[in-house]
């Protein structure tokens, strides 16, 4: 089995020979204690160290890794001791990790309202993932949780739709639009839509060049008239042929399409032979706002394909793409695989959906987020020198204020964005705390009247 390498003195100092111009040294006080014998020279340029096992010719070894950079000892540990394996599991390694744990400034964890993506994982999603983390399950979606999640979606939407799980909203939108288009087609969208402003050209990339035709929106909404204008602008062979309309529900400006508005858009789409896609990254918030069922807000009013967001609704990661016309979903699984969106351990994408849908948390989470937005809107209504840009219809509030007021607010430690029309955006999530909202209101009052 090979001889055991000599153990280093305790403590051991490793003189690092960096791959960059920087030279560093690190002292590992626990090396001897955990039975980790190795040679003195490593090529690296890292700061935070994570031990991982590697194997060579059947013998286990060790690599120290930061992010994506890996450095390897010149001599490997032939037989990691039980103490060493325990140390790996408990993350008890280099000296600079004080108190055996990574130190995080708790001030950085104070609740913010810059985005609903800031929120953690809701209990229902967490518990479902923990429940799935037992034993082994077949990979790539051929597992019980993926089947349960798919059937839960069909039950919720009251139809036998095709369901696909992907990691994020950009993939959900881009792959769905690519499935509906050929490269010579075009997609009609609003000028403030996520596919136009925040997806780095992904819809065009995954569709091999389908062009986005941008319409001027009203509060982020497309209208039948704007769709008609673009759909009839040109019909010659030199122009990308309109094929799909995509709308965001709720819009990027926090407005919600009513059932009647979606029905009118669907009618216009059908008049021009267009398919209707809905970006529903916050679809649950729209259902909560209107008091309508998912079916009533999607296929029953003419939506062909929906991206249902889980991440902003309390999950760690994951969106669902629902095809209400199964013929449109042909080979979509191949698109997911090619785009790197086919999770090998799919049960961990699916299980949170099971927990969210079965418990009803998908709706109660959205209701709470919307309630917090309305609460914030009401609390700031009488503050001088600021104004609510548009009524809060979901979980978003935009306020208009001078640059000086907004800079004072940032100086108080609050995070927010002003990338949509210059108004400051505040978003609320499943875990938003009313006391923390009150603190924001107090600081906003101070900043506005200073």
Q: Is the dihedral of CA 115, 286, 175, 216 positive or negative?
A: negative
CATH topology of domain 363-449: 3.90.1150
User: Which pair of structure tokens corresponds to residue 269?
Assistant: 């789409």
User: Which pair of structure tokens corresponds to residue 70?
Assistant: 């890996």
Residue pair 281/312 in contact (Cβ under 8 Å)? The answer is yes
CATH topology of domain 123-359: 3.40.640
Instruction: Give the span between the Cα atoms of 207 and 189, in whole angstroms.
Output: 15
User: Which pair of structure tokens corresponds to residue 140?
Assistant: 């790539």
Any idea of the CA torsion for 169, 190, 392, 291, to the nearest 10 degrees?
A: -70
Residue pair 279/247 in contact (Cβ under 8 Å)? The answer is yes
DSSP secondary structure letter of residue 3 = P
Domain-by-domain residue ranges, the chain?
Answer: 12-100, 123-359, 363-449
Mean pLDDT along residues 98-107: 64
Q: Is the dihedral of CA 59, 65, 68, 70 positive or negative?
A: negative
Instruction: Tell me the per-residue pLDDT of 232-287, one tens digit each, with 9 for 90 and over.
Output: 999 999 999 999 999 999 999 999 999 999 999 999 999 999 999 999 999 999 99
Instruction: Tell me the per-residue pLDDT of 294-321, one tens digit each, with 9 for 90 and over.
Output: 999 999 999 999 999 999 999 999 999 9
Query: Would you state the pLDDT for residue 62?
Result: 43
Q: Is the pLDDT of residue 215 over 90?
A: yes
Residue pair 76/61 in contact (Cβ under 8 Å)? The answer is yes
pTM: 0.78
Query: Would you state the pLDDT for residue 37?
Result: 36
Confidence class of residue 105 from pLDDT cuts 50, 70 and 90? confident
């Amino acid at each position: 089995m090979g001889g055991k390498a000599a153990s280093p003195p305790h403590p051991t100092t490793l003189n690092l020979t960096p791959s960059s111009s920087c030279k560093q040294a690190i002292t590992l006080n626990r090396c001897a204690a955990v039975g980790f014998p190795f040679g003195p020279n490593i090529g690296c340029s890292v700061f935070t160290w994570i031990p991982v096992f590697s194997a060579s010719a059947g013998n286990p070894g060790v690599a120290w890794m930061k992010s994506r950079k890996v450095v390897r000892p010149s001599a490997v540990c032939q037989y990691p001791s039980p103490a060493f394996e325990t140390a790996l599991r408990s993350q008890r390694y280099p000296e600079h990790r004080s108190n055996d744990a990574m130190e995080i400034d708790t001030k950085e964890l104070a609740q913010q309202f810059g985005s609903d993506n800031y929120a953690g994982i809701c209990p229902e999603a967490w518990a479902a993932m923990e429940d799935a983390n037992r034993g082994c399950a077949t990979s790539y979606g051929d597992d019980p949780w993926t089947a349960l999640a798919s059937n839960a979606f069909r039950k919720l939407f009251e139809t036998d739709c095709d369901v696909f799980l992907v990691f994020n909203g950009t993939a959900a939108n881009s792959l769905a639009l690519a499935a509906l288009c050929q490269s010579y087609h075009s997609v009609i969208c609003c000028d403030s839509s996520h596919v136009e402003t925040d997806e780095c050209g992904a819809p065009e990339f995954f569709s091999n060049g389908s062009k986005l035709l941008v319409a001027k929106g009203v509060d982020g909404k497309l209208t039948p008239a704007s769709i008609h204008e673009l759909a009839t602008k040109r019909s010659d062979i030199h122009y990308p042929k309109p094929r799909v309309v995509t709308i965001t529900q709720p819009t990027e400006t926090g407005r919600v399409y009513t059932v009647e508005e979606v029905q009118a858009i669907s009618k216009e789409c059908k008049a021009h032979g267009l398919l209707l896609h809905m970006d529903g990254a916050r679809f649950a918030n729209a259902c909560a706002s209107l008091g309508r069922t998912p079916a009533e807000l999607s296929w029953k009013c003419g939506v062909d394909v929906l991206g249902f967001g889980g991440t902003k609704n309390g999950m760690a990661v994951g969106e669902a793409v629902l095809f209400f016309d199964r013929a449109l979903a042909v080979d979509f699984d191949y698109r997911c695989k090619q785009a790197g969106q086919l999770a090998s351990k799919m049960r961990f994408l699916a299980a949170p959906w099971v927990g969210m849908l079965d418990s009803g948390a998908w709706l109660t989470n959205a209701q709470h987020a919307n309630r917090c937005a309305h609460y914030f809107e009401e609390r700031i209504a009488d503050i001088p020198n600021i104004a609510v840009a548009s009524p809060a219809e979901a979980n978003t509030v935009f306020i208009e204020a001078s640059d000086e007021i907004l800079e004072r607010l940032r100086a108080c430690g609050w995070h927010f964005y002003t990338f949509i029309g210059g108004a400051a955006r505040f978003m609320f999530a499943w875990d938003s705390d009313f006391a923390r909202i009150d603190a924001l209101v107090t600081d906003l009052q101070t900043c506005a009247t200073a």
